[in-house]
Amino acid sequence: MELKDSILSRFMKYVKFSTASDEGSSTCPSSKGQLALGRELAKDLRAVGLKKVAIDKNGYVTAELPATAKGPVLAFLAHMDTAPDASGENVKPQLHRNYRGGKIVISAKQGVAISPADSHGLGDCVGHDILTASGDTLLGADNKAGLAIIMGAMEHLARHPEMPHGVIKVAFTPDEEIGRGVDLFNVKKFGAKYAYTVDGDVVGTVEDETFNADGLKITVQGKSVHPGSAKNSMANAVRIAADIMASFPENMLPETTENREGFVMFTSCESSIEKAELDGIVREHDLQKLKRLERLLKAVVAEKRLKYPLAKISLEFREQYRNMRQMLDKQPRVMERLYAALEAEGVAPIHKPVRGGTDGARLSFMGLPCPNIFTGGNNFHGRHEWVSVQGMEKSARVLIKLAQLWAK
């Protein structure tokens, strides 16, 4: 099979596995579907000729392509889970061949469609074959496109031993979407020196900079009193929690920020009169600005403690990940080789900061420098998700070229 057809075939198979991660689960992986997909991936890796294929009890799939030349040990990674933000059950992929521009109707019945006006990068895909779901679910290109791309590249290299490359490691990880992707990953045992995640969006996108990220939790301990006699004696945790959320500046929310602008986002609120718990996230590319946002949150909470003296209000932050740029700047060859591979494949690089995080951010701080490469799609995590087949093929060709460049 040609590279493009191989990638398409694998992608169509992988998206039919239901693999949404579950933040409420304490297991790894957090959902059984990821284990099922992991076993299928391990089988496919063996079939294309990779060695040392393994899937451990935590769902991590690893393999190795033996070297045909000298070079440092290189690795490519993608994650198996899909975001729990939208349903990933019974995904029915649709292939829209030879896109002519304009609107693509995903579901007329549900009024789900995409167009260049609301889908960044779609307008650059005229003539491409575009994959979407059916309007009921997300597609799962984040990150099953990455899985298919890496599988296609490895199959191509295995079938062409005349192409020079060093040892290439592959890893497919669970639970990236809930921030646990490499919690139990053994970087030392894996044995790679340099790595790339394949988890980006439109063709050409390369990412070596992420947010600095902390989680936040605010707990309000209220006081329940019969409302008929509540004056000066009730502390309604529901109302206090709502007041806290409403007090944060609107120009510091994800809905009102872009590029390198940071934000605070409240992600859940469970409340009753006696107790409320707010969970959220704080994001900033500059670590000092992150701390400034957190000081502002502390000031909001301090003000509410004065306003509601009958309540007990606590605030805590939990470090999640840090901007990988500070680590990748110490290993300039990683990006130099990536830019050279893009140029060799005729791809114009689009360098942008990630308004989020990747497994690569964590791995870079664990000693494995790991920027991110495009998959060829966009609108991830929802029913408007799409990916270009030609974009996936181009990503695979960049990986193949990277393998050769590191062997020189």
Active-site residue list: 81, 176
- Alpha-carbon span 197 to 350, nearest angstrom: 16
| Residue 79 near residue 344 (C-beta atoms within 8 A) | no
DSSP structural state of residue 83: -
130-132/94-96 β-pairing: antiparallel
Phi, psi of 102 (to 5 degrees): 80, -155
Q: Distance between CA atoms of 71 and 164, rounded to whole angstroms?
A: 9
Q: For residue 217, give both structure tokens.
A: 């939790």
Cis peptide leading into 227, omega within 30 of 0?
Answer: no
Peptide bond into 143 cis (omega under 30): yes
Rg (CA), the chain: 23
Q: How many CB atoms lie under 10 A from the CB of residue 352?
A: 16
Q: Indicate the angle between helix axes 3-14 and 389-406, nearest 10 degrees.
A: 110
